[in-house]
Amino acid sequence: MYLLKKMLRRLVLILAAVAMLCALVALFILWESGRLALGPCVPGREGAAEGVSGEAGALLETRNFEASPKAVGDLKSGIVDERLVTTLQAITEEHRVCVDTFKEGHYFLPGVPDGPLIPEGYGDAGGLPNSHYYGRAVDIRRVNGKPVRGNSTDPDVLDIGESISRIPPQERPDQIIGSETWAETLGRSSEEGWILDEDQLERHEDHIHLGYISEDGTWNTR
């Protein structure tokens, strides 16, 4: 009887260890794929910008600015366009956002490294300059802790669009893309920088893309 109890206890311990290991592996996979809320969203803090001067440094120290390690790396390396940094500063004055990617780690097609042009396989935009490649674009995955996916009409997610539209035309991104519902509810035009092509809207169900088409200025006329 005593031996049986001992064996049972050992079995329970082994099972508990296996379960814990599985949970750890699952956590790691979720974190790696960026689906875990806490994983990719590290909030800005004092000292986060060590060695980084200027506005990129200021953004890194902004509490409302959360970013993945790759996005932080791009800001530190200086690849991110100043206009984009300024736009993110304006946004984070009113909202907490989680930035997933600028350049590093951005993929149009899974497994195919990004280049200077959008790959032909990526719908109507194929062949156009890749603003992510030049550090002129950002993908936002979360607003005030809520995933963009499934929250197109959430007041916070919509209000980001309002914040962006208040930026003067020549400073505002001219590649503003979100989901179809988001774009429709906001009712903004392509003259104001909104990209409204059906196939692009379909590809932005889970993030808001902000980018600048050209090296200087914008195409916005309103």
Query: Can you give the binding site for Zn ion, defined by CB under 5 A?
Result: 139, 209
CA distance 203 to 194: 14
Cβ of residue 217: shortest distance to Zn ion, in angstroms? Answer: 20
CB nearer to Zn ion: pick between 48 and 209: 209
Cβ of residue 203: shortest distance to Zn ion, in angstroms? Answer: 9
CB nearer to Zn ion: pick between 95 and 106: 106
Phi first, then psi: what are they for 43, rounded to 5°? -70, 150
CB nearer to Zn ion: pick between 57 and 147: 147
CB nearer to Zn ion: pick between 188 and 209: 209
CB nearer to Zn ion: pick between 172 and 209: 209
Cβ of residue 186: shortest distance to Zn ion, in angstroms? Answer: 18
